[in-house]
Chains A and B, each alone.
Chain A
Amino acid sequence: NRMHLVCPMSMSPYVDPRKSGHSIWLEFSMSFTPAVREVVEFAKRIPGFRDLSQHDQVSLLKAGTFEVLVVRFASLFDAKERTVTFLSGKKYSVEALRTMGAGDLLNSMFDFSQKLMALNLTEEEMSLFTAVVLVSADRSGIENVNSVEALQETLIRALRSLVLKNHPNEAATFTKLLLKLPDLRSLNNMHSEQLLAFKVHP
């Protein structure tokens, strides 16, 4: 039984069937850990993030890391070429990934990436939007919701004025960006379901 890890945060979707489940997880973990560390470093630089309690910083990062990674790695999903680039730099076609078991999540990732790229955000806008994405993550584990909400409001206000300044003739850009937040939440839910369904046999 061949197994596949259809996630661009791994080096390759092919899994060596001779390896133990534990070593497969270990290798996968080693491949996505640098990206997660970058998300944490990014979070530390968000003004106000370090003022949240340690518990709330961890909770937001736990809930929001996947959503941040989706935004940061949107360009790995090339809707024109219909390919996904994995960490090794190798591209895999949608058709190939489908035969490995990729389903609705892959379609939704392409759809999201294409719409986000179409907004042509500057690096500064993208960074501020990513900060908004992180502080807008699921709040179920948050202790001090008021502090997180205040931080979210400040960041959204800053994003709004930046986007309006840069795109004065495209008033819809800011609204389209905010509408990406529920899209990301739904991608996160689909991804969680896939993770929970993924079984590694020892």
Chain B
Amino acid sequence: VSDPASNLGLEDIIRKALMGNFEDKQE
């Protein structure tokens, strides 16, 4: 894996944690 953030699954955690935020904005 060449991307340490992907290696740690960081992007997935970040996207899930941000999700509520984007849903709020769509409402």
Chain A interface residues toward B at CB < 8 A: 29, 32-33, 36-37, 40-41, 44, 50, 54, 57-58, 61-63, 65, 191-192, 195-196
Contacts and interface: CB of A to CB of B under 8 A. Distances in A.
Given A50-B25, A196-B4, A36 B17 contact: yes
A29 B12 CA distance: 11
Where chain B touches its partner, the secondary structure class is helix
Contacts of A61: 14, 18
A62 B14 contact: yes
Closest 6 pairs (CB-CB, A-B): A40-B17, A195-B4, A192-B4, A62-B5, A61-B14, A37-B17
Contacts, number: 47
Nearest to A57: B18
Contacts of B11: 58, 62
A63 B4 CA distance: 10
Contact of B14 (A32, A65, A191, A192): A65
